[in-house]
């Protein structure tokens, strides 16, 4: 059995609202899968069903070939490390006391100091939890998940609200865990986080999986494209630009002009000479490869912040 997580047809409703509308997932041992999507996409509900906190209304879940509620729960919990969203651990406890508490629940696990070193909190050993910064608290939360030396780690938006430095510090802990052969399922709405940490990404929107694959596969799924962007105050004939060889779409938002162009330098040259013919001087011209953000936008028609984008329908 090489599957750490397998679930089929997961559905969860809260009253009238369908939070998760039929999800299939497989995560192999040693892999890191990222669930990516805007707030309200159903990521947390999905993860909490996998963790055994909610019972799915439909579908089934297997972790290491075992299902919840069939007498293996206690054994299964020994193999999981969980970080939930927005948990406040005991304010008055010192960091090492929090870890002792969580360590005491596990049959096997890591030494407190070893975990403190992993998350870089050795110096805060005796600090009270309530005096820590947001990033440090997140690392304590991660440490409580790691202290039982789990095989499978669930991280629900582990870096939301953290500054870039704290975020990178947390990523490196996940890397250490993965290097030791651990399996990770994490949710995030940061593209960069998913691209850095995950072997595979599943994109969720409105309770469904709308795409799944490695970061490269997902980007390639957009086609062999790159983006050409520049600013101008003059009028541009977008129609003519779109008719050029290799140009897939062109749009303008105020001064910002953005084109989707095939991955060939000649296509970019075509664009530049057409601009020359129109007498347009492009300011701050740049080209960049497609990113997961572009994938998400193309798949859902809206950005990760959930707001409908002006790009809607412009991709030809």
Partner 1 sequence: MTSPAATPPSAERFHPLVELTKTRLREFFREPGLIFWVFGFPILMAIGLGLAFRSQPPERPVVALLAPEDSALGRALLSSKELNVVRAPEQDALRGLARTKYSLLIDLRQEQPAYRYDPMLRDARLARALVDDELQRAAGRKDPLSARDEQQSLPGTRYIDFLLPGLIGMNLMGSSVWGVGYNLVVARKRRLLRRLAVTAMRRSHYLLSYFFSRLVFLVLELSVLIAFGVLVFGTHVQGSMVLLIAAALLGAAAFAGLGLLVGARVESTEVAQGWMNFIQLPMWVLSGAYFTNERFPDWLQPFIQALPLTALVDALRGIYNEAATLGMLWTEFAILGAWAVGSFVLAGKLFRWQ
Footprint on this chain of partner 1 (rule: CB under 8 A): 51-53, 74, 77-78, 80, 82, 84, 86-93, 97, 100-112, 114, 128, 144, 148-149
The least CB distance from residue 113 to partner 1, in Å, is 8
The least CB distance from residue 74 to partner 1, in Å, is 6
The closest alpha carbon to 249, from 232, 234, 267, belongs to 267
Closer CB to partner 1, residue 93 or residue 166? 93
Closer CB to partner 1, residue 82 or residue 275? 82
The least CB distance from residue 13 to partner 1, in Å, is 17
Q: How far apart are CA 283 and CA 150, in angstroms?
A: 53
Closer CB to partner 1, residue 103 or residue 167? 103
Closer CB to partner 1, residue 126 or residue 165? 126
Distances (CA, A) of 60 to 22, 52, 65, 133, 226: 11, 11, 11, 39, 41
The least CB distance from residue 100 to partner 1, in Å, is 5
Closer CB to partner 1, residue 127 or residue 272? 127
The least CB distance from residue 301 to partner 1, in Å, is 33
């Amino acid at each position: 059995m090489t599957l750490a997580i397998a679930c089929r047809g997961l559905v969860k409703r809260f009253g009238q609202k369908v939070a998760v509308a039929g999800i299939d997932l497989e995560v192999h041992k040693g892999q890191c899968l990222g669930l990516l999507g805007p707030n309200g996409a159903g990521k947390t509900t999905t993860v909490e069903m996998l963790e055994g906190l909610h019972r799915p209304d439909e579908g089934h879940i297997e972790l290491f070939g075992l299902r919840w509620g069939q007498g293996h729960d206690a054994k299964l919990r020994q193999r999981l490390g969980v970080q939930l969203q927005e948990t406040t651990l005991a304010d008055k406890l010192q960091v090492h006391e929090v870890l002792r508490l969580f360590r005491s629940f596990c049959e096997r696990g890591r030494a407190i100091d070893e975990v403190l070193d992993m998350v870089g909190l050795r110096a805060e050993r005796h600090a009270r939890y309530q005096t820590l910064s947001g990033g440090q608290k997140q690392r304590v939360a991660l440490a409580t998940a790691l202290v039982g030396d789990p095989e499978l780690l669930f991280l629900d938006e582990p870096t939301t609200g953290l500054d870039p430095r704290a975020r990178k510090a947390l990523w490196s802990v996940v890397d250490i865990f993965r290097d030791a052969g651990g399996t990770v399922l994490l949710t995030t709405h940061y593209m960069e986080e998913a691209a850095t940490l995950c072997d595979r990404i599943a994109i969720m929107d409105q309770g469904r999986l709308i795409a799944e694959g490695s970061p490269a596969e997902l980007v390639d799924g957009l086609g062999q494209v790159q983006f050409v962007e520049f600013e101008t105050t003059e009028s541009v004939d977008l129609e003519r630009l779109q008719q050029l060889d290799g140009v897939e779409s062109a749009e303008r938002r105020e001064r910002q002009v953005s084109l989707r162009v095939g991955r060939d330098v000649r296509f970019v040259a075509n664009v530049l000479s057409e601009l020359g013919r129109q007498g347009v001087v492009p300011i701050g011209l740049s080209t960049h490869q497609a990113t997961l953000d572009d994938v998400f936008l193309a798949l859902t028609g809206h950005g990760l912040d959930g707001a409908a984008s002006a790009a809607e329908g412009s991709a030809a």
